[in-house]
Chain A
Amino acid sequence: MKFTITREKLHEGLGAVAASVPTKTTLPVLANILVEASKDGLRLSGTDLDISVSTTIPASVDQEGATTLPARKLVEIVKELPNAAIRMTSSGEQRATIECGKSKFKLLGLSRDDFPAFPSVKFEGGWKVAAKDLQKLIQHVAFAASTEESRPILNGVLWELRADRMRMVATNGHRLARMDVPTSGHGGGQADLIIPPKALEQIRRLFGGDEEIEIGKSDNHLGFRSTTTQIYTRLIEGPYPNYEQVIPRENDKSLTADKAALAAALRRMSIVASDQTHRIRMAFTNGACKLSVQTPDLGEAQEELAVAYEGDSLEIGFNAAYMLEILKYMPTDEVRMTFKAPERAATCEPVGWDDPASYMTLVMPLRLVD
């Protein structure tokens, strides 16, 4: 293997792949990046066996070949090299020489045969979606997935592909986020896929702009690819809980508020809220929202916020951390919340969003004990 590449390109390519290299592994080769030189350029790949990422960058290849090199060291070396052409050669399979200006490194690697093969995913007959749509969905929904491991299904994000729309849903059982994006046909058929958020984060990071992404599926893997980059992920086995039936339709009280003002008030209240439950209390009457918090052994706080409120007065408790999180992902300056009763789900939606997508989040209350 023999090729020359600009430092900038190599740095960029390694940056894309390195995030998928596990920091701790029992399989030594997983700490390495697979480096393959071919007439198409240089292909770099990393995997932790759940998620695999590979990207192709332009390089002038003199002699084809492949090896694997320790990811951290390779990244560090390239980071410290001057901005000049880098020449990499491998003598034998497990040793590579990196030369740049007057610097010269020899790195020991492992045989490419040890590197796990990527899942075989059929892209033919799959889907085609716009990267920006996918990014939007991931950005607004994936945060709501559970990090607690008792129900693995909730650790994933549900992605529904339908004829004329895509939808993502995530929940940890306490709060939920859902977004719909209309599409003008994406090939493939209708599908419900449950994807680990870590994979979605890579997708959000590595695909962008006006790229069109091809998606293919095997029994338990999903592949995403653009012209330069491929991401493969394990799928979480379904079925996803029936979220539709828990989304409230009878909420008859509504509040419209300035997002920043509401978030600031919540942050102030949560200073005095319990560290574990972040419990705050909200009381709504016509035209006003009163926030308060009382924590034994700590203290209490109150605040009034001018809001537009319609409906009977209501007192309800929430985990302030959940509320703040939801507000953080709201795309507009104004938000609308709806309520029914102190033990029923509340919803939160953007107001006046000039986007074809529709977005809704939901949060379950905390019981108030007097």
Chain B
Amino acid sequence: MTSPALRRVAILPDAVANQIAAGEVVERPASAVKELVENAIDAGARHVRVELEQGGKTLIVVSDDGSGMNRDDAVLALDRHATSKITSAAELVGVRSFGFRGEALPAIASVSRFTMVTAEEAEGTEVVVTGGRLDSVKPAVRQRGTTVTIRGLFFNTPARRKFLRSVPSESRASVEVVSTLALSHPSVGFELQVDGETRLQVPPGQDDPGRLAGVWGPDLAGTLVPVNYASGSVRVTGYAQRPGDAAPTGRRTQLFVNGRPFRDNFLVRAAEAGYRSAIHPGDRPSLLLRFDVDPADVDVNVHPAKLEVRFRDRFTVERVAEEAIREALGVLEAAAPVGDWRPMPSAGGAGHSVPASLFAPLDGSDERPEEERGVAAPGTFTAPVTQLFSSYLAFEGPEGLVIVDQHSAHERVLFEEVMAQLAVGGAASQRLLLPETLELTDEELDALERHREAIEAVGFQAEPFGGRSVVLHSVPAPHLRFDAVACFREMVADLARGRFGGWANRLERFAATYACRAAVKAGMPLGEAESRALLFRLFQTKLPPHDVHGRSTIVQLPRDELERRFGRR
């Protein structure tokens, strides 16, 4: 054997290295679009225009009015690890610009026919690269900014080209990418043309709600309520969908951390937990949440496409997300079409009301409290209230007809009352003149034993009475038509069957069960004074618009709608 030993290990030529990097950075047209648009934004563009043909397979054009580059920088930009964004490793922590590795441009250029026209001042430069090989650098005429044109993406890597999806699918991915970027930069204008059709057009200098309407469409944007919440070093702003509008399909979510979009299904789920009792289990609300955290507390470089981030204290971020949503939904606006129409009753005193009696007092004088004689006492709900179908309470709000489900409303009121009672005690419990004896099943007896403390805290006193019987000595009195025995029986049965099992917190589970069973039912006629008292209490709760099952408590028929239906508009 005389042949010289072959060297097996060699440094790859740059062109190959760039192609490999392209595999990481540019896996499909949408990722090229993302890199290029991010570059444009990093360059301080006020307006970014994107044009695609065949889902970007044949043509991608990204042009901006950013800072542009001079001739030298333009050529250097196509070298690997050429970047204007960081200069040392120390700057890696706390990076605020999008790109910094200097991999994107050379990677894209290595797998396409690449043309870049850029101008810093009056004089422009055109750089043409084909499959990573620099073809030409020549002067060009252009206004300040940069235009990158990519034709035939992956023309020289057939394997990757083969794995591209259908044109509609690739187009969708690019639309998604541009939408996300548009949402994160309301100050930058975007225009996206796909095969000659404008898919997105938003002007520069928009505010958040305007941008949201422009990108997600006014219909969806109209169902959102603002979120603005801070706890510790974490601040959450953005928008959450009204629970009543959340549907099992068609949701859109968008998360940002320090202005950078990212994906995190666990964080979305944590935010959904903020809806807890307010939506059906299958409903998926649309969310746009911006997290502002100390840049040192988040690592954004764990994913090559920077889609995922890692929080130093993930638990806190999830907790704050949940709290932010809950707080946002507490506002009544979340119930029904926008407008702040929470009827603000005058604060304070609550009059006593003796149940109306058929029988006049002996001396013939009217000693009934004022509100029963039709005089509004301060601290009560004063708008005229009508009961519909013995189930709903309707009244005139500033912006329309407001309809409240009496059972849901009372459920919400009781739920919050019971939670307070479980925390500090203080439920009043009426001793019964005629104690009630009930026969329970073994499971129910077991449930009764397990929840004894909570059951007593809400006002039931039940004692064993031999065998499977218990005797009820004291009961709560949440409303005039309260059927204590039925409530107790149903509540114990629910507890035994594990209804509301989805609720993580045991006390909340109990409170929901009790509230559901103790509340006035649909079909119970309520008096005017009673209806007002219920509404007054409802609007004092933390979450008036939703009951413990996640159903709406309040529905509003806007005046506009009414006038439209009567042909007045």
Q: Which residues of A contact B (CB under 8 A)?
A: 138-139, 142-143, 147-150, 171, 173-176, 197-198, 201, 204, 241, 243, 246, 267, 270-279, 296, 298, 317, 319-321, 324-325, 328-329, 331, 343-345, 362, 364-367, 369-370
Q: Is A345 touching B433 in the complex (CB atoms < 8 A)?
A: yes
B429 at the interface (CB under 8 A from A): yes
- Complex interface: stretch among B2-10, B228-236, B472-480: B472-480
Inter-chain contacts of B353 with A (CB < 8 A): 275, 321
B398 at the interface (CB under 8 A from A): no
**C-alpha gap A243/B433 in the complex (Å):** 9
Q: Is A150 touching B434 in the complex (CB atoms < 8 A)?
A: no
B262 at the interface (CB under 8 A from A): no
Known: A142-B358, A369-B425. A246 touches B420 (CB 8 A): no
Q: Is B430 touching A148 in the complex (CB atoms < 8 A)?
A: no
- Complex interface: stretch among B77-85, B136-144, B158-166, B482-490: B482-490
Interchain residue pairs with CB less than 8 A apart (13):
A142-B358, A174-B430, A267-B352, A271-B349, A273-B352, A275-B350, A275-B533, A319-B428, A325-B355, A366-B428, A367-B428, A369-B425, A369-B426
Scoring B residues 189 to 221 as 1 if CB is less than 8 Å from chain A, else 0, what string do you get?
A: 000000000000000000000000000000000
User: Which 6 pairs of residues, A with B, have the shortest CB-CB distance?
Assistant: A277-B428, A270-B352, A150-B483, A367-B429, A364-B431, A279-B428
**C-alpha gap A173/B483 in the complex (Å):** 11
Q: Is B358 touching A197 in the complex (CB atoms < 8 A)?
A: yes
Q: Is B483 touching A367 in the complex (CB atoms < 8 A)?
A: no
B359 at the interface (CB under 8 A from A): yes
Q: Is A150 touching B429 in the complex (CB atoms < 8 A)?
A: no
Known: A174-B433, A367-B459. A321 touches B427 (CB 8 A): no
Q: Is A149 touching B481 in the complex (CB atoms < 8 A)?
A: yes
Q: Is A325 touching B352 in the complex (CB atoms < 8 A)?
A: no
Q: Is B481 touching A147 in the complex (CB atoms < 8 A)?
A: yes
Inter-chain contacts of A364 with B (CB < 8 A): 430-433
**C-alpha gap A143/B477 in the complex (Å):** 19
Name the distance in Å between B318's Cβ and chain A's nearest Cβ.
31
Known: A143-B359, A148-B481, A321-B352. A366 touches B430 (CB 8 A): yes
The interface on chain B, measured as residues whose beta carbon lies within 8 A of the other chain's beta carbons, has a size of 42
Name the distance in Å between A9's Cβ and chain B's nearest Cβ.
25
**C-alpha gap A367/B456 in the complex (Å):** 11
Closest to A328 in B: B361
| Most chain B beta carbons < 10 A, residue from A138, A149, A296, A328 | A328
Known: A139-B362, A367-B461. A325 touches B354 (CB 8 A): yes
Chain B, range 431-471, C-beta contacts under 8 Å to A: 431-434, 459, 461
Identify which of A147, A150, A319, A329 contacts B362 (C-beta below 8 A): A329
Name the distance in Å between A32's Cβ and chain B's nearest Cβ.
24
Inter-chain contacts of A246 with B (CB < 8 A): 433-434
| Most chain B beta carbons < 10 A, residue from A143, A173, A201 | A173
Name the distance in Å between A247's Cβ and chain B's nearest Cβ.
9
Known: A147-B481, A275-B350. A328 touches B428 (CB 8 A): no
Name the distance in Å between A354's Cβ and chain B's nearest Cβ.
15
Inter-chain contacts of A370 with B (CB < 8 A): 425
Chain B, range 362-385, C-beta contacts under 8 Å to A: 362, 367
Name the distance in Å between A21's Cβ and chain B's nearest Cβ.
17
Q: Is B359 touching A365 in the complex (CB atoms < 8 A)?
A: no
Inter-chain contacts of B481 with A (CB < 8 A): 147-149
**C-alpha gap A362/B434 in the complex (Å):** 12
19 additional A-B residue pairs with CB within 8 Å, beyond A276-B428, A343-B473: A147-B481, A173-B434, A174-B430, A201-B358, A243-B434, A267-B352, A275-B350, A275-B351, A277-B477, A279-B428, A317-B428, A325-B357, A343-B474, A362-B433, A364-B431, A365-B431, A366-B429, A367-B461, A369-B428
Inter-chain contacts of B485 with A (CB < 8 A): 150
Closest to B363 in A: A328
Closest to B536 in A: A275
Identify which of A271, A276, A319, A362 contacts B351 (C-beta below 8 A): A271
Name the distance in Å between B463's Cβ and chain A's nearest Cβ.
12
B504 at the interface (CB under 8 A from A): no
Name the distance in Å between B527's Cβ and chain A's nearest Cβ.
11
Name the distance in Å between A155's Cβ and chain B's nearest Cβ.
12
Identify which of B424, B427, B480 contacts A147 (C-beta below 8 A): B480
**C-alpha gap A277/B427 in the complex (Å):** 9
Q: Is B352 touching A148 in the complex (CB atoms < 8 A)?
A: no
Inter-chain contacts of A273 with B (CB < 8 A): 352
Q: Is A343 touching B480 in the complex (CB atoms < 8 A)?
A: no
Name the distance in Å between B170's Cβ and chain A's nearest Cβ.
59
Inter-chain contacts of A271 with B (CB < 8 A): 349-352
Name the distance in Å between B516's Cβ and chain A's nearest Cβ.
17
Inter-chain contacts of A267 with B (CB < 8 A): 352
**C-alpha gap A84/B58 in the complex (Å):** 102
Q: Is A148 touching B483 in the complex (CB atoms < 8 A)?
A: yes
Closest to A317 in B: B428
Inter-chain contacts of A345 with B (CB < 8 A): 431, 433
| Most chain B beta carbons < 10 A, residue from A149, A176, A270 | A270
Q: Is A171 touching B358 in the complex (CB atoms < 8 A)?
A: no
Inter-chain contacts of A278 with B (CB < 8 A): 352
Name the distance in Å between B114's Cβ and chain A's nearest Cβ.
69
Closest to A148 in B: B481
**C-alpha gap A336/B420 in the complex (Å):** 38
Inter-chain contacts of B473 with A (CB < 8 A): 343
**C-alpha gap A300/B486 in the complex (Å):** 33
**C-alpha gap A308/B486 in the complex (Å):** 42
Inter-chain contacts of A197 with B (CB < 8 A): 358-359
Q: Is B352 touching A320 in the complex (CB atoms < 8 A)?
A: yes
Known: A328-B367, A367-B428. A175 touches B478 (CB 8 A): no
Closest to A275 in B: B350
Known: A142-B359, A148-B482. A367 touches B477 (CB 8 A): no
Q: Is A276 touching B433 in the complex (CB atoms < 8 A)?
A: no
Inter-chain contacts of B533 with A (CB < 8 A): 275
Q: Is A241 touching B480 in the complex (CB atoms < 8 A)?
A: no
Closest to B361 in A: A328
**C-alpha gap A256/B275 in the complex (Å):** 56
Q: Is A321 touching B350 in the complex (CB atoms < 8 A)?
A: no
**C-alpha gap A296/B420 in the complex (Å):** 10
Q: Is A147 touching B349 in the complex (CB atoms < 8 A)?
A: no
**C-alpha gap A110/B367 in the complex (Å):** 42
**C-alpha gap A149/B351 in the complex (Å):** 26
